[in-house]
């Protein structure tokens, strides 16, 4: 069941989303060779708590950290760790912010120091696939139109799309209906209505789309060791078009 949000509820989620966006902006300033994803996680938790917000991922299904930090061939749900990031790494930081019970979810990929042209291109294509998909999030379209846009664009550029992890409705719970796949035919799935709020969060690889789950039970990695990037926004469907809640 898709829970439709009122304008007031969307405003509350927007408040969480704006704080999340400002947190990502701070991360972009501190991320450089030598910093650890552990330190970034500590920074995020402190930043959120100082702003009367909670890191909603912490404790969710037993997850222990404020952020997921996925480096290079890690696709998602990487654990923050005390190993310094190196020049040329790419790292996706994903987090969910809770203010007064209303949530917002956004992930961003960052380059550390000087990154390769291959990594730069992957990040550009992944980000563009997210924004192209957001443009399809208009009343009357279907969820499948969003899914299809990501797949047709990313694959036309020679990249592959991870299928095991998908976007989702969000509100007072991290995961609600609808499911938002990042692949599939257009014209399928629920029709978009005013007040729907969900994430779009493509994970895109330079190599094969195949992945495996690490022994920690959480972290997904590319099977062939190729690079993976991810960008995620929480968006609301409004009469005036898609409203990105996780931008400043």
Q: Could you tell me which residues come within 8 angstroms of residue 120 by beta carbon, excluding any fewer than 6 positions away?
A: 111
The answer to whether the beta carbons of residues 201 and 232 sit under 8 Å apart is yes
Rule CB under 6 A: say whether 63 interacts with ligand MF3.
Answer: yes
Q: How far is CA 181 from the centre of its chain?
A: 13
List the x/- string, 73-112, binding to Co ion by CB under 5 A. ---------------------x----------x-x-----
Site size toward ligand MF3, by CB under 6 A: 14
- Contact partner, 174, from ligand MF3, Co ion, none, Cβ < 5-8 Å per class: ligand MF3
Rule CB under 6 A: say whether 45 interacts with ligand MF3.
Answer: no
Strand partners, 54: 98
- Contact partner, 60, from ligand MF3, Co ion, none, Cβ < 5-8 Å per class: ligand MF3
**SS3 labels along the chain:** CCCCCCHHHHHHHHHHHHHHHHHHHHHHHHCCCCCEHHHHHHHHHHHHHHCCCEECCCCHHHCCCCEEEEECCEEECCCCCCCECCCCCEEEEEEEEEECCEEEEEEEEEECCCCCHHHHHHHHHHHHHHHHHHHCCCCCCEHHHHHHHHHHHHHHCCCEECCCCCEEECCCCCCEEEEECCCCCCCCCCECCCCCEEEECCEEECCCCCEEECCCCCCEEECCCCCEEECEEEEEEECCEEEECCCC
To the nearest whole angstrom, how small is the minimum distance from the Cβ of residue 199 to Co ion? 6
**Residues 220-239 within binding reach of ligand MF3 (CB under 6 A):** 232
- Contact partner, 68, from Co ion, ligand MF3, none, Cβ < 5-8 Å per class: ligand MF3
Query: Nearer Cβ to ligand MF3, position 226 or 246?
Result: 246
- Contact partner, 57, from ligand MF3, Co ion, none, Cβ < 5-8 Å per class: ligand MF3
Query: Nearer Cβ to Co ion, position 170 or 237?
Result: 170
Shortest CA distance to 20 belongs to which of 96, 102, 108? 96
Choice from 77, 182, 209, 221 touching ligand MF3 (CB under 6 A): 77
Choice from 19, 44, 68, 134 touching ligand MF3 (CB under 6 A): 68
Task: Kindly state the tokens that stand for 147.
Answer: 């899914």
To the nearest whole angstrom, how small is the minimum distance from the Cβ of residue 60 to ligand MF3? 4
Rule CB under 6 A: say whether 60 interacts with ligand MF3.
Answer: yes
Q: Of 33-41, 61-69, 112-120, 221-229, which segment contacts ligand MF3 by CB under 6 A? A: 61-69
Which residues are at the interface with Co ion (CB under 5 A)? 94, 105, 107, 232
- Interface residues with ligand MF3 (CB under 6 A) are 57, 60-61, 63, 68, 77, 94, 96, 105, 107, 174, 199, 201, 232
């Amino acid at each position: 069941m898709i829970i439709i949000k009122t304008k007031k509820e969307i405003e509350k989620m927007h408040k969480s989303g704006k704080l999340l966006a400002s947190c990502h902006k701070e991360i972009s300033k501190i991320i450089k060779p030598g910093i650890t994803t552990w330190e970034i996680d500590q920074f995020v938790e402190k930043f959120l708590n100082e702003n009367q917000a909670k890191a909603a991922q912490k404790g969710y299904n037993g997850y222990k950290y404020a952020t997921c930090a996925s480096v290079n061939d890690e696709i998602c749900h990487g654990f923050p760790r005390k190993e310094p990031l190196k020049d040329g790494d790419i790292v996706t930081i994903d987090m969910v912010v809770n203010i007064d019970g209303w949530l917002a979810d956004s992930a961003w990929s960052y380059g550390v120091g000087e990154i390769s042209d291959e990594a730069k291109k992957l990040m550009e294509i992944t980000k563009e696939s997210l924004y192209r998909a957001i443009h399809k999030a208009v009343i009357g379209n279907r969820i499948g139109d969003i899914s299809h846009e990501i797949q047709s664009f990313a694959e036309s550029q020679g990249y592959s799309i991870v299928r095991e992890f998908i976007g989702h409705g969000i509100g007072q719970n991290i995961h609600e209906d609808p499911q938002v796949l990042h692949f599939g035919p257009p014209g399928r799935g629920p029709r978009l209505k005013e007040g729907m709020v969900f994430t779009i969060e493509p994970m895109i690889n330079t190599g094969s789309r195949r992945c495996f789950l690490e022994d920690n039970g959480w972290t997904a990695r590319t099977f062939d060791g190729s690079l993976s990037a991810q960008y995620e926004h929480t968006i609301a469907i409004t009469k005036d078009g898609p409203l990105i809640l996780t931008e400043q």
